[in-house]
Structure 1
Amino acid sequence: MDEIPLCIMFNIFSRIPPKSLLQLRCVSKSWLKIIDDPFLCHMHIHCGSVELQTPLFLPRFTNLINSVRMCAAYDSEDDRMIYAGRIPMAELNVDGFCAFGSCNGLLYFAGYYCDEKIFVSNPLRNQFRALPPIYFPPTDDFLALMKYSSWSRSKHPEESPVNAYGLGFDSSTNTFKMVCTLQNTGECKGTVVHNLGTNSWRKISSVPQYPIYGKPVFVHGFLHWLLSPLRQYYGDLPVDNTIISFDICKEKFELLPHPGIWSKNMDEFRLIDCNGHFRLFDRNSDLGVADISMNDKDIDIWVMDHVKKEWSKVYNIRLTQTLAAAYNDVCIYAIACIYNDNDIGMYQEGQIFLKSYKGYWIFSTETGGLRFKQISGLSNGAAQILSHTGSLVLI
């Protein structure tokens, strides 16, 4: 193997899933050096990882001191739970956390009792990095909002109106960037950016035009958020522009067109990432809020062409009368897409995961079937679902 040119070795290893590569690190020192080389990691990111996308199930709110094995991955062949790896988070002095998202194999979290506590983890490598405390210029608005932040995070940890977070990858510089906005109900006060691997935050001039909330979706070099559902309290918005994106490379916010169903309330929608495809999850009427036995029992999946900025509806998940009768108090409040569709250029079969208070639902994009699963090794309704792909990234 030592006689094989290095460029060919990189080419071969770039076609092997990250999880398998990490198991090969112990073969020899030369293999270890190649597998840990940032160049190979960048090849996986730029060329498209061959690692299969899997749903990760994470505890919604957990004390990090007592949670070392905190995430599990779904095994679709036998419906078992398998641990994605031990994450050494017990060293982190935070009372609790909630997961905000996944970007190119990295998970990121925020402490829900303390907004400035953010950390990033690569579960495949069993690594984490605590980011420096968020720094904004110490204005009166900043001090007042940070005082409110502790209370807000404890009450609504996933959708605090104070800070919105997002992790993206700048392909022009091969840099991961964490973005944070400071905001209250009606106004965004500022934006700061942290480059992973540095020790500071820097303020940028661009701020979102309206408050944003929830978990962002990172695809095609942009972070995407929904507008805050409280927008009715701070004036009228253009009805066809209800999604805010952030260009990771240019570090600039802009508005994106909505798929054409803007007559509904924005709290009926969720943004999801389907293997690099930006999709919007439509929770029709009160679906996902209280009761699926209402008149409207459909879940629509829309996809946006990132070049033309045009939307099209690609799937309709019909919640049948039988399902409603058996689980009339089911409430779909989380969704993750694990796409394997040929029309998206992925695997042969696709699955969409829905989480309810009763358990988990799996929708097949190939057959259109919907089946209920009580996944062993995981308490029903106890976890968030994140679509995740393994990565070689060292943090």
Structure 2
Amino acid sequence: METSGSDELPVDIVYNILSRMPIKSLARFQCVSKVWCKYINDTYFETMHNAKRGAMKVDPTMLMMFQLDLYPYASSSLTMLVTNEGEKSATTHEEVVIATKNPPPYMEFGCKDWGPRFILEDIILGSCKGLIFSSQDNNVDDRSTVLLVINPLKRKCYKLPPIKIWSCTSSAFQEREACGLGYDDSTNTYKMVCVVLRNQDKIRSYDHDDDDVVKEDLCTVVHDVVLGGTANSSSSSSSWRKIPALPAYPISGEAVFANGCLHWLVSILLEYWPSNAVGKVVCFDLTKEEFGLIDPRNTLIRMGREHLVDLDGQVGLVYDDISTRHTSCIEVWLLNHETKCWVLHCRFDRKPPLRHNTFIKVIGYWNKDAGDLLITDTTCRRRLFIYRLKQGVLHEANFIYQGYLATTTNIRLYQPTFSSILRRSINNR
């Protein structure tokens, strides 16, 4: 029987043991020896691990807090959060206590100071299969941006080549383009996709239902992200490549990656919003590198704000209705991947502890099996709420943080994945 080398254990036994380990442990085990690192980065082991862990409890979802500090320079920090649930509170609901691990922070990285922002309110611009991304530098002269891909499990950052992805009009940033990080299973490649304006200084009004006018200023570029090297290193893929595919409409907001596709909402910043674009979602197939359209949910469009959210691998759409002051409600819909139709997950009224004059943001599933949701207030990201689907109740979590809290704070859910810990080149093109 073949042995594993210096450890003198049969290879099949080592594979069997490692395949039952959590992903966070495997990330550390790669440092044990060259032999173990070789095993963990073997494509056979990846298949074996997925099969074994699929029958067991998956790695727990972690809560992470990102903060942006502008002094003395723009810098962000990542702090891991821990939760404690089960004690009864005075309101008879289970009390959820969320606190920081000691000592914070877990990781620090450079981050762009956007200045006064209307929609660009997040430090983290998106995520995919164990990686997240932000923006680090801003060249004022040519308005270029350096996107930063972050691997929290390894505490590493990878810089992408500079690209112009934002337009600036007068003194305020306007979101005219969008980007998203996805994973192409056919080539085991992470891809950053950006839809940009060819002419960054040209702001035009779009005519009703005129797709050609919308498309003529848009350009789609893709960067194949190669993970490797040391912390804060550049991606080894040297440039962005232009592809012929274009979305039917400008897109905006955070992209959600699910079922091999990136999903964006049609931009709400069109000066004249075509009637046939209201509520639609633009999708991008990472393997075919083609865009598509998903029809809106079959409900009356009212006054409110929408955003997409990753609900454990499903595309969720959150509609926050503020059409009236006292009867506003919040709806959460799920996209059926097969039928491309929206299914209502839950609907609940806005009432205390939620405020009437602010929008909410659904962060993700607090408990997937029960369908419970983790929610935050867009004006105060340090207020966290749990919506209990089966009980139909919403209550505020007890957030405990000792230390300095920056003005800009984001709370994110993080699920470790096998592809995020690999040391082999994941670009097989």
TM-score, normalised on structure 1?
0.77
Question: Does the 8 Å CA contact 1:340/1:351 hold for their aligned counterparts?
Answer: yes
Q: How does 1:208-357 map to 2 (within 5 A)?
A: 208-231=247-270, 233=272, 235-239=274-278, 242-261=280-299, 263-264=301-302, 268-286=305-323, 294-320=325-351, 322-323=352-353, 327=355, 329=357, 331-342=358-369, 350-357=372-379
SS at match of 2:24: helix
> 1:74, CA displacement in angstroms?
4.4
Closer/same/farther in 2, CA of residues 235 and 297 from structure 1, 3 Å limit? closer
Letter in 2 for 1:248: L
Closer/same/farther in 2, CA of residues 376 and 154 from structure 1, 3 Å limit? farther
- Is residue 2:123 matched to residue 1:98? yes
Aligned to 1:143: none
SS at match of 1:30: helix
1-structure distance, mates of 2:375, 2:33: 40
Q: How does 1:175-194 map to 2 (within 5 A)?
A: 175-183=189-197, 186=206, 187-188=214-215, 189-194=218-223
SS at match of 2:246: coil
1:110 to 135, 156, 169: 135
Per mean C-alpha deviation after superposition, the further-off stretch among 94-103 and 254-263 is: 94-103
Q: Unmatched 5+ residue regions in structure 1?
A: 135-145, 287-292, 343-347
Which one has a larger percent helix, Structure 1 or Structure 2?
1
> 1:215, CA displacement in angstroms?
0.6
Aligned to 2:39: 34
| Identical columns (%) | 28
Deviations, residues 340-360 of structure 1 (Å, cap 9, x unaligned): 333xxxxx6744222353522
Deviations, residues 90-122 of structure 1 (Å, cap 9, x unaligned): 5x8x55683211100001112474443111010
2-structure distance, mates of 1:153, 1:132: 27
Q: Unmatched 5+ residue regions in structure 2?
A: 86-96, 115-121, 198-202, 207-213, 227-236
Which one has a larger percent strand, Structure 1 or Structure 2?
2
Deviations, residues 236-283 of structure 1 (Å, cap 9, x unaligned): 3255x6110000110011100212135235x61110001101110110
Which of the pair has more CA radius of gyration?
Answer: 2
Letter in 2 for 1:382: T
Closer/same/farther in 2, CA of residues 39 and 340 from structure 1, 3 Å limit? farther
> 1:284, CA displacement in angstroms?
1.3
- Is residue 2:175 matched to residue 1:160? yes
Letter in 1 for 2:172: K
RMSD after superposition? 3.6
- Is residue 2:6 matched to residue 1:22? no
> 1:309, CA displacement in angstroms?
1.2
2-structure distance, mates of 1:85, 1:276: 28
TM-score, normalised on structure 2?
0.72
Aligned to 1:345: none
1-structure distance, mates of 2:171, 2:36: 46
What is the count of residue pairs matched by the alignment?
A: 361
1-structure distance, mates of 2:374, 2:133: 22
2-structure distance, mates of 1:180, 1:23: 33
Letter in 2 for 1:190: C
Question: Does the 8 Å CA contact 1:112/1:150 hold for their aligned counterparts?
Answer: no
Closer/same/farther in 2, CA of residues 64 and 174 from structure 1, 3 Å limit? farther
> 1:86, CA displacement in angstroms?
3.8
Question: Does the 8 Å CA contact 2:66/2:76 hold for their aligned counterparts?
Answer: no
2-structure distance, mates of 1:64, 1:14: 46
2-structure distance, mates of 1:63, 1:45: 44
2:239 to 200, 203, 208: 200
2-structure distance, mates of 1:88, 1:45: 31
Deviations, residues 182-217 of structure 1 (Å, cap 9, x unaligned): 135643421000001211111000011111111111
1-structure distance, mates of 2:158, 2:79: 17
SS at match of 1:34: helix
1-structure distance, mates of 2:151, 2:105: 10
> 1:381, CA displacement in angstroms?
7.0
1:80 to 78, 83, 99: 99
